[in-house]
Structure 1
Amino acid sequence: MTGKSDGIDLESEYNNRARVPDHPAVMQRWRETAAAARAARPPLEIAYGPGPREVMDLFEAAPDAPVAVFLHGGYWQALDKGWFSGLAPALAAHGVSLAIPSYDLCPTVRLGVILRQVRSAVETVRERTGVRPVVFGHSAGGHMAACMLSEGRASAAVAISGVFDLRPLIPTSLNTALDLDEREASALSPIFWPVPNGSTPGGTVLDCLVGADESPEFLRQSKTMAGHWAANGVEARYEALPGLNHFTVLDPLFDTDSGLVRRIAALAVKSGA
């Protein structure tokens, strides 16, 4: 794999672990905050399917509190729900519960299977609460959050550093596990999916956020997705968060007073109203 296309070094643009040398230290903070959150308020584990990874953690802020769903990243081939428990306290401070599903990983399953699992997880939350939840996600999770909004399964989506067109991943090392070809990459790219509108069940709010210090391709992906959906009637916005890279872009989610936490909380409360 050359990882190059039209003069763009796609390997460098999309291989975030190589791009951010200190990512292990950031990820270690995720682990530490997750352990502290689980110790302070152990979650309820809910199965949404028959497989060992088809489970989610639910951190309840209060009985009948609105619920947001977080979809983790890792390019559909790494991590699980246990890394991100530390996101729960900030939302709980605003009276919002947090559900964090795990899902199977590539290459054990194909990306389409992961999307089906995420659908089941989101639908399980909906059945439990009676409303479509706000779905937010990071990287691969940003991709899947947009997919859930397109399908009418979410009341709103906040996509953080999402990949909405998967075709640039094909010539990179990231595709070793994904095994995408042009047809499958296009079919699974929400940039090509139906844009939700007033007649679509679910919501029509999409936030595409990205770290301002991320690669030009990640900036382009979020800006293009927000622009395309906004031009087709969605309340979509794009924002590059100053001083943040692909890993530190999650930092605001640990801060009770951050604009990002307040935004997600407000969307969750609105969905449950």
Structure 2
Amino acid sequence: MTSQAEHDDAWANAAHIPGAEGYVARWAEAAEAFRELHPPEVLRHGPGARRDVDLFRPKGATKGLVVFVHGGYWLRFGPRDWSHLAAGALAEGWAVALPGYDLCPAVRIAEITRQIAAAVDVAAEAVAGPVRLAGHSAGGHLVARMGDEGLPLACRGRVARIVPISPVADLAPLMLTSMNERLRIDAAEARAESPVHQPRPDVPVHVWVGADERPVFVAQAKALAEAWEAELTVEAGRHHFDVVEGLEGADSALLRAVLG
């Protein structure tokens, strides 16, 4: 029988990435430097300190809106840890929104899903044109959930592409980890909130994952791509912490997947 420690290790990213301890500080530094050059417009999608949306607008005409949803196992981080990831789309003439959301255990994952739907609508009200959704890890789960026709997403008709990056597509295995003391996923929520159990969205979906990620993340990405008959890229040489770096570069394959 597999122990809880083994389940924990299967989902542990930092323990298997050389130099992992330095990434968070570098992200924070890069994000702050980006905001100094591009101060965001701050929108609100509900009460509470975490319900902000940082909106970066390009100079000149706007092609549309990219929404990037951060990860952190629904337990940590906020949009201002990732501001620099707006760089690529912004340089290409797209507005970029990074929504915040309440974290577990203060709320359940289903509530976070509803908050992200509200945040996407608030950002879409502020920016005309098509909407692209991208998210990493838990954020990949959340943007995948936006494909659910049952969610109250007012801008649904404008969503033109969804790119889950290293997504958690099936929540059930997390019930076996120690994280679940804070996530509080039960069988009903695992079923309802897992994109692999939802119908394929009626928009193009491109699932992205790093080839050097933990095997469980590669398996989750492949499972979602198979369930939704979606395009899948397993990017060589990328692990869970650097797989999103392509969003910073206007000429990257990942950004091309998001913008189409």
Structure 1 length-normalised TM:
0.86
SS in 2 for 1:149: coil
Please provide the CA RMSD for this pair: 1.8
For residue 170 of structure 1, what is the aligned residue in structure 2?
Answer: 175
- The runs of 5 or more residues in structure 2 that have no matched partner are none
How much has 1:139 moved relative to structure 2?
A: 0.1
For residue 255 of structure 1, what is the aligned residue in structure 2?
Answer: 249
User: Residues 214, 148 of structure 1: CA spacing in aligned structure 2 closer, same or farther, 3 A cutoff?
Assistant: same
How much has 1:177 moved relative to structure 2?
A: 1.0
Which residue identity does 2:221 align to in structure 1? S
Counterpart CA distance in 2 for 1:182 and 1:19 is 29
State whether structure 2 residue 17 is matched by structure 1 residue 20. yes
How much has 1:19 moved relative to structure 2?
A: 3.0
Task: Name which of structure 1's ranges 169-178 and 76-85 shifts more when overlaid on structure 2.
Answer: 169-178
Structure-to-structure mapping, 1:125-136, within 5 angstroms: 125-131=123-129, 133-136=131-134
For residue 62 of structure 1, what is the aligned residue in structure 2?
Answer: 59
SS in 1 for 2:103: coil
For residue 33 of structure 2, what is the aligned residue in structure 1?
Answer: 36
- What do the CA deviations read for 1:65-84 (whole angstroms, capped 9, x no partner)? 11100000000010001101
Q: 2:186 aligns with which of 174, 178, 181?
A: 181
Which residue identity does 1:222 align to in structure 2? A
Q: 2:231 aligns with which of 231, 237, 254?
A: 237
For residue 144 of structure 1, what is the aligned residue in structure 2?
Answer: 142
Structure-to-structure mapping, 1:65-144, within 5 angstroms: 65=62, 66-131=64-129, 133-144=131-142
Which residue identity does 2:182 align to in structure 1? A
How much has 1:196 moved relative to structure 2?
A: 2.2
Task: Name which of structure 1's ranges 128-137 and 219-228 shifts more when overlaid on structure 2.
Answer: 128-137
How much has 1:180 moved relative to structure 2?
A: 0.9
How much has 1:17 moved relative to structure 2?
A: 2.7
- The answer to whether the Cα contact below 8 Å between 1:61 and 1:92 also exists between their aligned partners in 2 is yes
For residue 190 of structure 1, what is the aligned residue in structure 2?
Answer: 195
- The runs of 5 or more residues in structure 1 that have no matched partner are 198-203, 231-235, 268-273
- The answer to whether the Cα contact below 8 Å between 2:70 and 2:137 also exists between their aligned partners in 1 is yes
SS in 2 for 1:244: coil
Counterpart CA distance in 1 for 2:35 and 2:222 is 35
Which residue identity does 1:172 align to in structure 2? T
- The answer to whether the Cα contact below 8 Å between 2:140 and 2:166 also exists between their aligned partners in 1 is yes
Task: Name which of structure 1's ranges 237-246 and 148-157 shifts more when overlaid on structure 2.
Answer: 148-157
How much has 1:63 moved relative to structure 2?
A: 5.4
How many corresponding residue pairs? 251
- The answer to whether the Cα contact below 8 Å between 1:15 and 1:174 also exists between their aligned partners in 2 is no
Counterpart CA distance in 2 for 1:128 and 1:84 is 21
Counterpart CA distance in 2 for 1:131 and 1:146 is 20
How much has 1:91 moved relative to structure 2?
A: 1.4
For residue 219 of structure 1, what is the aligned residue in structure 2?
Answer: 218
Counterpart CA distance in 1 for 2:116 and 2:134 is 12
For residue 2 of structure 1, what is the aligned residue in structure 2?
Answer: 3
SS in 2 for 1:170: helix
- What do the CA deviations read for 1:8-45 (whole angstroms, capped 9, x no partner)? x4322212233335222122221111011101110000
Identical aligned residues as a percent? 39
Structure 2 length-normalised TM:
0.91
